[in-house]
Chain A
Amino acid sequence: MPSPLAVEVRALSKTYEVHERPPGLAAALRSVFRRTYKTVHAVTDLSFTVEPGERVGFLGPNGAGKTTTLKMLSGLLHPTSGEARVAGYVPRKREAGFLKKITLVMGQKQQLLWDLPPADTFTMNRAIYEVSDADFAETMAELNELLSLGEIMKKPTRQLSLGERMKCELAAALLHRPQVLFLDEPTIGLDVAMQLTVREFIRRYNERRGATVLLTSHYMDDVASLCPRVVVIDQGRLRYDGDLPSLVRSIRPDKRVALRFSGTADRAAIERAGKIVEFDAARAVIQVAQVDLREAVGHLLGLAWVSDLTIEDPPLEEVMRDLFSASKAAAAEEAAGA
């Protein structure tokens, strides 16, 4: 019976043997006769599942194993051990049926033909993926509507801006209407307006087509606005799997209260409500424990020179930094214990 899950990962591991040598000529000569290798555990015993139509943020610091995992799920890498199934297929077999159901967009790699207009890449993909004329016309119209491709399809790829190229990359990757999208840093290097466009496009494609999205991004805004669920890995191991607000609450159970002043502020009066993070003549940000929030807000609203007050979660970047430092410390402790 086929798996009803879009992505199913069980005890997935990937190790590499990497040639290592110190810098310098002597080391280079020594390595000719005696090569030393280091085993890198890129992914270790990773398990998670994704339901069809879910949008999942896949987070982790650099070198955490995110891209390695996405490459294993798209069939580019063979796992060292464990199992993966995507849309009911075993990715490493790279069957045509599987490749027609997935797509992998890597923000730092491109599939567009460099010296030809993107329209030529679209034509080529239509033939390779056997998209019918009617489906091609319909999908192109839809992609055009969502991404405003217009004239940029007709200019050689090398003459497009980074943002225009990413729009065309997404169009080329989605022309065959894949059911599972692996997006590895799709907004990297883009300006804020283009990030919003790409983000909105991903959301609308997901809603319109019911496609599953597994997204990695260093821009936390991408993840916060797109992904109700996040999977966090660090040093190749699963650290968290759940919704974003719960993750934030578990790592940073405090809130940020931002204040604006209409007169001269009394720093000591503010300090009574919580720890000051930022303070100047016009505004301040304080950190308040969740349990003390009601009392602190009451106190602050009683101050005549406080003209505006907003309560926010701590920035996601800080939450992630705390999570990764905690997991690093735990790993160091584990290594010391061993």
Chain B
Amino acid sequence: MSALQDLGRAARAYPTLLRVGLAEAVAYRAEMLVWMLTTTMPLVSLALWSAVAETAPVGRFTQQGFAAYFLATLLVRQLTGSWLVWELNQDIRSGMLSRRLLRPIHPLIGYSATNLAAIPLRAALIAPPAIVWLLVLEPGAFPRTPLTLITAALSIVGAWLINFFIMALIGSIAFYLESSTAIFDLWMVGFMLLSGYLVPLELFPAGLRAVAHALPFRYVLAFPVEILTGLLRDDQGDAILRELGIQWLYVIGAGSAAIAAFNTGVRRFSAFGG
């Protein structure tokens, strides 16, 4: 009952938290723009793979196909990005987490609002590459059926949630170790290699592709990108739903682990001298 009341209170407060979070994001707009420029690796991949596909397609990818894929990668990455791991790590180390613990709302809910609130600003900043993406997308590649449109939206939400919860989980390690960001770098290695960020997963050898399909990295990026670019086609409804199910199982798993790690870590939190 108490947990439900807490959630109810958080839901009522959430619109205000988002409004204040957006105001904060606008205040930090220059910093955010610089940060966004550091996540333009897909454009480098785009240039490399376009050169490779100049004479003949690579698998199903023509030059135009690569352009659509990597621009979608850039867009999804921007829409699902979060900075929670650094923020949480810093708040725990400096003792600033105290101010969040004193409020009658779970700190992870507060963090989620700040992170989500930045999305409109990021969406505005990525509008130019989004327009180019729509122009280079091959006819019929964009999801057309209601099912694929809904699953595309749900897959982006799922990707954001996995990303956020993984960051919360790894950030909570700072309750136990002096810093958790180095551990996040390990996660990023897996992400770079197995999420489809640098190489579309269908170009992987079959064995490695199977591994990538089983791990969470694909569901943070490649899965929504493949729906958006038509690599997962409208007529593959069953496959898309199955993958969506796997993605949301990861959401539930990462969410449960993150909440448990955070709540356990808070008991250790000393903020001693912080």
> Can you list 9 A-B pairs with a CB-CB distance of less than 8 A?
A71-B98, A104-B98, A111-B102, A116-B20, A123-B20, A124-B17, A127-B15, A127-B17, A128-B104
Q: Let me know if B242 is at the binding interface, CB within 8 A.
A: no
One of A68, A113, A130, A156 near B9 (C-beta < 8 A): A130
Q: Let me know if B16 is at the binding interface, CB within 8 A.
A: yes
- Contact call B99/A129, Cβ cutoff below 8 A: no
Map CB proximity to A onto B90-112 as digits: 1 under 8 Å, 0 otherwise: 00000110110111110000000
Chain B proximity of A223: nearest CB distance (Å): 23
Which residues, 125 to 150 on A, are CB-close (under 8 Å) to B?
Answer: 125-130
Task: Give A96 to B267 CA distance when docked, in angstroms.
Answer: 17
Q: Let me know if A76 is at the binding interface, CB within 8 A.
A: yes
Q: Please name all residues of chain B whose beta carbon is closer than 8 Å to the beta carbon of A124 when the two chains form the complex.
A: 16-17, 20
One of A77, A102, A123 near B16 (C-beta < 8 A): A123
- Contact call A76/B271, Cβ cutoff below 8 A: yes
Q: Let me know if B24 is at the binding interface, CB within 8 A.
A: yes
- Contact call A111/B99, Cβ cutoff below 8 A: yes
- Contact call B99/A127, Cβ cutoff below 8 A: no
Q: Let me know if B232 is at the binding interface, CB within 8 A.
A: no
One of A100, A110, A116 near B23 (C-beta < 8 A): A116
Chain A proximity of B237: nearest CB distance (Å): 41
Task: List A residues at the B interface (Cβ < 8 Å).
Answer: 16, 42, 68, 71, 74-78, 94-96, 99-100, 102-104, 106, 109-111, 113, 115-116, 120-121, 123-130, 156
Q: Name the residue on B nearest A97 (C-beta).
A: B104
Given contacts A100-B104, A130-B13, list 16 more A-B pairs with CB under 8 A.
A16-B270, A16-B272, A68-B272, A71-B98, A94-B101, A95-B2, A96-B2, A96-B6, A99-B102, A104-B98, A109-B95, A116-B24, A123-B16, A124-B20, A125-B103, A130-B12
Q: Please name all residues of chain A whose beta carbon is closer than 8 Å to the beta carbon of B5 when the two chains form the complex.
A: 96
One of A76, A116, A123 near B102 (C-beta < 8 A): A76
For the residues of A in contact with B, the DSSP-based class is mixed
Q: Let me know if B37 is at the binding interface, CB within 8 A.
A: no
Q: Let me know if B206 is at the binding interface, CB within 8 A.
A: no
One of A74, A78, A103, A127 near B267 (C-beta < 8 A): A78
Chain A proximity of B42: nearest CB distance (Å): 30
Chain B proximity of A173: nearest CB distance (Å): 9
Chain A proximity of B26: nearest CB distance (Å): 9
One of A78, A109, A116, A126 near B99 (C-beta < 8 A): A109
- Contact call A128/B24, Cβ cutoff below 8 A: no
- Contact call B102/A104, Cβ cutoff below 8 A: yes
Map CB proximity to A onto B256-271 as digits: 1 under 8 Å, 0 otherwise: 0000000000010111
- Contact call A99/B24, Cβ cutoff below 8 A: no
Q: Please name all residues of chain B whose beta carbon is closer than 8 Å to the beta carbon of A121 when the two chains form the complex.
A: 20
One of B2, B27, B101, B270 near A115 (C-beta < 8 A): B27
Q: Please name all residues of chain B whose beta carbon is closer than 8 Å to the beta carbon of A156 when the two chains form the complex.
A: 27
Q: Let me know if B28 is at the binding interface, CB within 8 A.
A: yes
Q: Please name all residues of chain A whose beta carbon is closer than 8 Å to the beta carbon of B95 when the two chains form the complex.
A: 109
A-B contact count (CB 8 A): 77
- Contact call B27/A116, Cβ cutoff below 8 A: yes
Q: Knowing A109-B96, A130-B13 touch, does A115 contact B24 (C-beta < 8 A)?
A: yes
Task: Give A68 to B274 CA distance when docked, in angstroms.
Answer: 11
Q: Name the residue on A nearest B94 (C-beta).
A: A109
Q: Please name all residues of chain B whose beta carbon is closer than 8 Å to the beta carbon of A75 when the two chains form the complex.
A: 101-102
- Contact call B13/A127, Cβ cutoff below 8 A: yes
Q: Knowing A104-B102, A109-B95 touch, does A120 contact B9 (C-beta < 8 A)?
A: no
Which residues, 99 to 134 on B, are CB-close (under 8 Å) to A?
Answer: 99, 101-105
- Contact call A127/B12, Cβ cutoff below 8 A: yes
One of B105, B269, B272 near A128 (C-beta < 8 A): B105
Q: Please name all residues of chain B whose beta carbon is closer than 8 Å to the beta carbon of A116 when the two chains form the complex.
A: 20, 23-24, 27
One of B27, B104, B267, B271 near A129 (C-beta < 8 A): B104
Q: Please name all residues of chain A whose beta carbon is closer than 8 Å to the beta carbon of B270 when the two chains form the complex.
A: 16, 77
- Contact call A113/B102, Cβ cutoff below 8 A: no
Q: Which of B5, B27, B270 has the most CB of A within 10 A?
A: B270
Q: Name the residue on A nearest B100 (C-beta).
A: A111
Q: Knowing A16-B270, A76-B101, A116-B20 touch, does A128 contact B27 (C-beta < 8 A)?
A: no
Q: Name the residue on B nearest A130 (C-beta).
A: B9
Chain A proximity of B199: nearest CB distance (Å): 38
Chain B proximity of A21: nearest CB distance (Å): 13
Q: Which of A42, A68, A71 has the most CB of B within 10 A?
A: A71
Q: Please name all residues of chain A whose beta carbon is closer than 8 Å to the beta carbon of B271 when the two chains form the complex.
A: 71, 76-77
Chain A proximity of B33: nearest CB distance (Å): 15
Task: Give A110 to B99 CA distance when docked, in angstroms.
Answer: 8
Task: Give A259 to B267 CA distance when docked, in angstroms.
Answer: 58
Q: Please name all residues of chain A whose beta carbon is closer than 8 Å to the beta carbon of B104 when the two chains form the complex.
A: 96, 99-100, 128-129
One of B12, B16, B103 near A99 (C-beta < 8 A): B103
Which residues, 46 to 60 on B, are CB-close (under 8 Å) to A?
Answer: none
Chain B proximity of A170: nearest CB distance (Å): 14
Map CB proximity to A onto B1-36 as digits: 1 under 8 Å, 0 otherwise: 010011001001101110110011001100000000
Task: Give A319 to B6 CA distance when docked, in angstroms.
Answer: 48
Task: Give A115 to B24 CA distance when docked, in angstroms.
Answer: 7
Chain A proximity of B93: nearest CB distance (Å): 14
Q: Please name all residues of chain A whose beta carbon is closer than 8 Å to the beta carbon of B19 when the two chains form the complex.
A: 123
Task: Give A130 to B103 CA distance when docked, in angstroms.
Answer: 11
Q: Knowing A123-B20, A124-B17 touch, does A96 contact B9 (C-beta < 8 A)?
A: yes
Q: Please name all residues of chain A whose beta carbon is closer than 8 Å to the beta carbon of B16 when the two chains form the complex.
A: 123-124, 126-127
